[in-house]
Amino acid sequence: MVRTCSSELGSYVHSRKVWDFILEVAVKENLKAEHMVKKTLYEAKQSEFKEQGYWDNAVPHILLWNMGDWNKPCIEEHHPGVTLLRGFFENLLKSFLDNGGEIGRRHLMEAAIADKEFQVLSVVD
């Protein structure tokens, strides 16, 4: 899918093309709305999904995760329905899988302090 969506744009994936591709596959495969990936709404694409018989909650949330970036993990949510995540460490992947694909700043922080060496620390108020 990434190759299809980025053929004209080099290595950059254009989110509109990703949604168009998902909708095309859903229509082609005659998927019911309850079988679509569900997450945050993306307002710009809702009407196109509705025109094809899918409800608002059928518009998938797109996570673009650059796992090859070994710098400090960073999460960006500039647009509804799209999350950009870069960086990788094992606890972050575990958090992502344990939370059903949910990932946010809270998950990032929890994953960062999940190592054993941080468990001996205590908060004193």
Q: What is the mean pLDDT of residues 32-36?
A: 81
Q: What is the mean pLDDT of residues 2-24?
A: 59
pTM over 0.75: no
Task: Give backbone dihedrals phi and psi of 33, rounded to 5 degrees, phi first.
Answer: -55, -35
At 59-116, the pLDDT tens digits run: 777 888 888 777 778 887 766 777 888 888 788 888 888 888 888 888 888 888 887 8
Q: Tell which wins on pLDDT, 13 or 111.
A: 111
Supply the mean pLDDT for the chain. Answer: 75
Per-residue confidence band for 28, with pLDDT thresholds at 50, 70 and 90: very high
The string of DSSP letters for 58-90 reads: GSPPEEEEETT--SS-EEEEEETTEEEEE---H
Task: Report the alpha-carbon distance of residue 117 to residue 86 in Å, rounded.
Answer: 24
Q: Tell which wins on pLDDT, 65 or 2.
A: 65
Strand partners, 65: 85
Task: Report the alpha-carbon distance of residue 63 to residue 61 in Å, rounded.
Answer: 7
